[in-house]
Amino acid sequence: MGQTFTMDDLRRKLQERQHKMTPQRQTVLQIFLDHPGKHLSAEDVHDILRERKVDIGLATVYRSLELLSELGILQKMEFGDGCSRYEVNTIDPTRHHHHHLICTQCGKVEEFDDDLLENLEQDISKKTGFRVVDHQVKFFGVCKECQAKQ
């Protein structure tokens, strides 16, 4: 799926941009390292922190997520439900983003890695002269679990 980052890699990314790895930022980042491939909202992160008996306020979580997103350490995603979600930004500039499958009933987000749009990008480029550098695809539907409940 993309490369795996360590806390040291993430600390280096922060320092390159003149930011410190505060204990709060480290704790928030650790949540993402402990939940690879998950798309977590600020509330999800805060809930996990509370389960771990870590006392970091929701406002601090929001600030940390915004900063880490601005710095490119986390990737911020919107799935049309008004709730921003984040994941560690493992995007290799030579690869496309993975695509997302979003359940409209339970809100679960899954990743889908097959890049089916390579030919379409080439076609667009040939026909219009537009050089596509990346794309994001979101499929909205009903996951297997929610279908099984119906």
Residues at the annotated binding site? Answer: 97, 103, 106, 118, 135, 143, 146
Binding site, annotated residues for Fe cation: 97, 118, 135
C-beta of residue 62 within 8 angstroms of C-beta of residue 120: no
Contacts of 36 (CB under 8 A, 6+ apart): 4, 88
Query: Which of 110, 107, 105 has the alpha carbon at shortest distance from 87?
Result: 110
In sequence order, what E strands does 16-131 have? 74-78, 84-88, 99-103, 109-112
Binding site, annotated residues for Zn(2+): 103, 106, 143, 146
The DSSP secondary structure of 50-79, one letter per residue, reads: HHTT----HHHHHHHHHHHHHTTSEEEEE-
- How far is Cα of residue 55 from the mean position of the Cα atoms in its chain? 24
